[in-house]
């Protein structure tokens, strides 16, 4: 019995293989149309492809050809061609292998003779819908395109949903065909209905006090429903870093007058501790490393704590920083903040004859130590009905600064006539303790990722220190910066940035002569932490990192600007050309802006953009080229 079963199985397999070997093949080729029409014809005739073990008779082939002609003609009707003529030809390619060549003549199109597109309801004055109506493309004289007709209707309903018209419907939607005269009349009326309002919010969580979340939404109860603001609400919940598995459920009560949308928020408390570390490299910093610890939730008050330590090779810079934030229980998004920081880095005091950066001579060097404590008050202000937010930070900062400047041993050998007097050394080495009060603003509006990142970021601050309240020095500073990114035609990106800073701190100004050349000393009394420097991959390219300042130790004022064009030639790769200009300086009357120009390559990797720039220092003798390379995140 077993032997018979084995023999039967072998016979059955052989029959199947034989049947497969003699199966017919059929290919369908379409001529006469292209683009979307070709795709639709191919989709409608897809079922006529023959696969598997099918055998085709002449009669069946003729039936397939007839059906293909009918389906191809029908496939052109959505695009306005109701009189298409089709013909097919059967070609024997090989033994039991066939090809049907289907030739399509579209014939005369249906032309739109008149159209009516109307808006009714509360949304008839909505600017987005008015723009949709004004940009309606299916106008008199155009070829009827029912595919586009459906797309336009869907776009209108999406706009209605995004702007809160959740009961929107088409009260009229007609395409009246006159096939005898090849004309069509379109009638479309969109009734938006009443605009829905935001209702109540229920937070299902026990991690923080309810008052912590009350002011988180960018909208209030009774405000018109806005899909974008609702998405930002989800993101803002995630940005608190308190929760995970966040679910915002919309309870739409569209039968009410006016319609309302209540929200139920379900979420789980996330792990309270996060540990992060990173390693990077850049021509501005050399090797850099950092480690951070975040305690997302210290208590039910919603307070959080960040600590980080970082080191970078250039100037052997070491930083430690800890930040604390606690929400205030007021009718606005406000927080108490406190920041404690320590920073040390090597500094070199340089002089140079003329304005040539490369001719600088180091005559003193040492370490600068900064200890700061900054308590403050953060206010998140909404603009444009919550679509933009400005972070306004009022603060008081205590800064203690010391340094260890001393003469460089080799300086007399390099240039024996360039020396600082004891009084000058004392000026640049004197420690100070200062108490400043001020306010800063940060206005980020960035969306997208990788090459597609667009938007702007504006920042500004103003602060002052005075001996009247116990500071060692009198000074004030004002600073404004702005950066813009925009995309043009998908592959082109334009980036522009600029900054202006002014300080009114006292300056030591002296001029000495060495070997027949004038050596200028210009040293601000401003603490090192607040001094401006220019040059480097994020400033004026073509010049070394922070090489542009008075005596290499920073300046009272700064002006920089940059314009850059990028072209994306692959999905994650782009090429750039740029022009930078700027300088840091103490004396406005002696302002000399340095210029740089160059080319760059960008790779938008998972870890972020990796930038390689080749920049020319236009204002340096010989116009030297410099490479700027950046990978990884900035220090702290």
| Cross-strand pairs, 88 | 102
Give the whole-angstrom CA distance, residue 138 versus residue 169.
20
**Of residues 600 and 2, which shows the higher confidence score?**
600
For the whole model, what pTM was predicted?
A: 0.81
pLDDT given for residue 54 in this prediction: 62
Contact assessment for residue 624 and residue 617, using Cβ atoms and an 8 Å cutoff: yes
State the Cα–Cα distance between residues 218 and 212, nearest whole angstrom. 14
Domains annotated on the chain, with CATH: 21-105 (3.10.20.310), 111-191 (3.10.20.310), 197-269 (3.10.20.310), 273-631 (2.40.160.50)
pLDDT higher than threshold 80 for residue 191? yes
Write down the pLDDT at residue 45: 82
pLDDT at 12: 46
Calculate the alpha carbon distances from 472 to 177, 214, 310, 475, 532 in Å. 87, 44, 29, 10, 20
Q: What confidence score (pLDDT) does residue 354 get?
A: 63
Q: CB of 166 within 8 A of CB of 254?
A: yes
What residues form DSSP beta bridges with 370?
343, 401
Backbone angles phi, psi at 94, to 5 degrees: -160, -175
CB atoms closer than 10 angstroms to residue 335: 19
In the chain, % of residues over pLDDT 70:
90
What is the structure's pLDDT at 43? 86
Q: Report residue 633 CA to chain centroid gap.
A: 15
Q: Which residue has the tokens 């929107």?
A: 168
* Whether residue 385 has pLDDT greater than 80: no
Main-chain dihedrals φ then ψ at residue 416, nearest 5 degrees = -65, -15
Per-residue pLDDT tens over the stretch 135-162? 999 999 999 999 999 999 999 999 999 9
Of 249, 229, 247, the closest CA to residue 238 belongs to 247
Q: What is the mean pLDDT of residues 305-318?
A: 95
Nearest-5° Cα angle at 46, 42 to 49: 125
For residue 601, the cross-strand partners are 575, 612
- Strand 183-191 versus strand 111-120 pairing type: parallel
Helix extents (H) in 112-184: 127-134, 146-162
**460, 479 contact by CB (below 8 A):** yes
Residue 536: name the closest of 454, 455, 621, 611 by CA: 611
* Span 169-177, average pLDDT: 95
- Is the bond into 258 cis (omega within 30 degrees of 0)? yes
- Read off φ and ψ for residue 38, nearest 5 degrees: -60, -45
Query: What would the pLDDT profile of 470-504 be if each residue is shown by its tens digit?
Result: 999 999 999 999 999 999 988 999 999 999 999 99
Q: What is the pLDDT of residue 13?
A: 47
- Is residue 17 pLDDT above 60, yes or no? no
Give me the pLDDT at residue 516, please. 64
Query: Looking at residue 412, what is its pLDDT?
Result: 53
Instruction: List, in order, residues 6 or more apart from 600 with CB less than 8 Å away.
Output: 564, 575, 576, 577, 578, 611, 612, 613, 614, 628
Average model confidence (pLDDT) across the chain? 88
Structure tokens at 532: 């401006």
- Whether the pLDDT of residue 325 is over 50: the answer is yes
Q: Would you call 239 helix, strand, or coil by DSSP?
A: helix
pLDDT of residue 424: 76
d(CA 405, CA 428): 8
pLDDT at residue 381 tops 60: yes
């Amino acid at each position: 019995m077993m032997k018979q079963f084995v023999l039967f199985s072998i016979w059955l397999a052989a029959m199947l293989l034989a049947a497969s070997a003699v199966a017919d093949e059929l290919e369908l080729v379409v001529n006469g149309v292209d683009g979307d029409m070709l795709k639709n014809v191919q989709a409608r005739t897809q079922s006529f492809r023959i696969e598997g073990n099918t055998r085709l008779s002449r009669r069946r082939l003729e039936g397939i050809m007839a059906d293909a002609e009918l389906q191809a003609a029908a496939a052109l009707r959505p695009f306005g061609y109701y009189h298409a003529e089709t013909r097919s030809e059967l070609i024997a390619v090989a033994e039991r292998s066939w090809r049907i060549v289907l030739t399509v003549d579209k014939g005369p199109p249906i032309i739109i003779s008149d159209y009516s597109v109307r808006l009714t309801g509360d949304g008839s004055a909505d600017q987005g819908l008015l723009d949709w109506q004004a940009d309606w493309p299916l106008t008199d004289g155009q070829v009827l395109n029912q595919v586009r007709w459906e797309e336009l209707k869907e776009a209108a309903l999406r706009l209605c949903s995004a702007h809160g018209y959740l009961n929107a419907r088409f009260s009229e939607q007609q395409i009246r065909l006159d096939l005898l005269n090849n004309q069509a009349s379109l009638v479309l009326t969109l009734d938006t209905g009443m605009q829905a309002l935001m209702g109540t919010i229920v937070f299902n969580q026990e991690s923080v006090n309810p008052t912590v979340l009350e002011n988180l939404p960018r909208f209030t109860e009774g405000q018109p429903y806005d899909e974008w603001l609702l998405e930002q609400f989800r993101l803002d919940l995630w940005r608190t870093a308190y929760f995970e598995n966040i679910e915002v459920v919309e309870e739409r009560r569209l039968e009410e007058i006016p319609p309302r949308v209540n929200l139920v928020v379900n979420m789980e408390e996330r792990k309270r501790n996060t540990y992060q570390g990173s390693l990077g490299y850049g021509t501005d910093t050399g090797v850099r490393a950092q480690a951070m610890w975040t305690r997302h939730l210290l208590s039910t008050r919603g307070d959080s704590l960040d600590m980080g330590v970082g080191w970078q090779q250039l100037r052997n810079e070491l930083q430690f920083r800890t930040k604390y934030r606690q929400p205030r229980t007021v009718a606005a998004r406000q927080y108490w903040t406190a920041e404690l920081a320590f920073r040390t880095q090597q500094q070199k005091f340089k002089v140079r004859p003329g304005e040539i950066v490369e001719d600088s001579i180091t005559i003193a060097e040492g370490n600068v130590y900064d200890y700061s404590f900054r308590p403050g008050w953060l206010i998140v202000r909404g603009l444009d009905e919550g679509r933009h937010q400005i972070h306004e930070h009022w603060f008081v900062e205590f800064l203690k600064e010391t340094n260890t400047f001393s003469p460089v041993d080799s300086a007399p050998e390099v240039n024996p006539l360039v020396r600082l007097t004891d009084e000058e050394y004392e000026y640049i080495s004197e420690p100070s303790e200062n108490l400043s009060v001020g306010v800063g603003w940060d206005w980020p509006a960035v969306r997208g990722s990788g090459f597609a990142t667009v938007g702007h970021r504006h920042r500004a601050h103003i602060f002052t220190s005075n001996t009247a309240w116990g500071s060692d020095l009198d000074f004030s500073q004002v600073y404004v910066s702005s950066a813009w990114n925009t995309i043009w035609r998908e592959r082109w990106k334009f980036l522009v940035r600029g900054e202006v800073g002014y300080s009114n701190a006292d300056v030591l100004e002296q001029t000495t002569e060495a070997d027949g050349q004038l050596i200028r000393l210009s040293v601000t009394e401003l603490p090192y932490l607040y001094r401006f420097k220019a040059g480097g991959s994020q400033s004026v390219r073509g010049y070394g990192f922070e090489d542009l300042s008075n005596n290499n130790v920073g300046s009272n004022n700064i002006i920089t600007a940059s314009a850059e064009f990028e072209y994306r030639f692959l999905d994650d790769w782009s090429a750039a050309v740029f022009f930078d200009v700027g300088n840091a300086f103490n004396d406005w009357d002696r302002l000399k802006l340095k210029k740089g120009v160059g080319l760059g390559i960008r790779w938008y990797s998972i870890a972020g953009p990796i930038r390689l720039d080749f920049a020319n220092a236009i204002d340096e003798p010989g116009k030297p080229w410099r490479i700027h390379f950046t990978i990884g995140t900035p220090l702290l």
